[in-house]
Amino acid sequence: MGLGSTTKKIQTIADKAEQVYAQVDELREQLAELRAKVDVTHDTVSELKVKHEQNRALLEAIAEQQGVDVEEVLTEAAIDDVDDPTTGAGVDAETEEATPADSPKATEDAGTGTETS
- CA gap 71, 66 in Å, rounded: 14
- CA gap 73, 110 in Å, rounded: 7
Report pLDDT for 1.
Answer: 53
Domain match, 43 and 78 both: no
Report pLDDT for 85.
Answer: 59
Domain match, 90 and 55 both: no
Phi, psi (degrees; rounded to nearest 5) at 112: -85, -25
Report pLDDT for 116.
Answer: 45
Span 39-92, pLDDT tens digits: 999 999 999 999 999 999 999 999 999 999 999 999 998 888 887 756 545 445
Report pLDDT for 82.
Answer: 82
Question: What is the tally of structural domains in the chain?
Answer: 2
Report pLDDT for 103.
Answer: 52
- 25 pLDDT more than 60: yes
Question: Which range of residues forms the domain containing residue 17?
Answer: 1-67
- CA gap 53, 71 in Å, rounded: 16
- Of 49, 67, 85, the one marking the end of a domain is 67
Domain match, 77 and 40 both: no
Report pLDDT for 117.
Answer: 38
Report pLDDT for 50.
Answer: 97
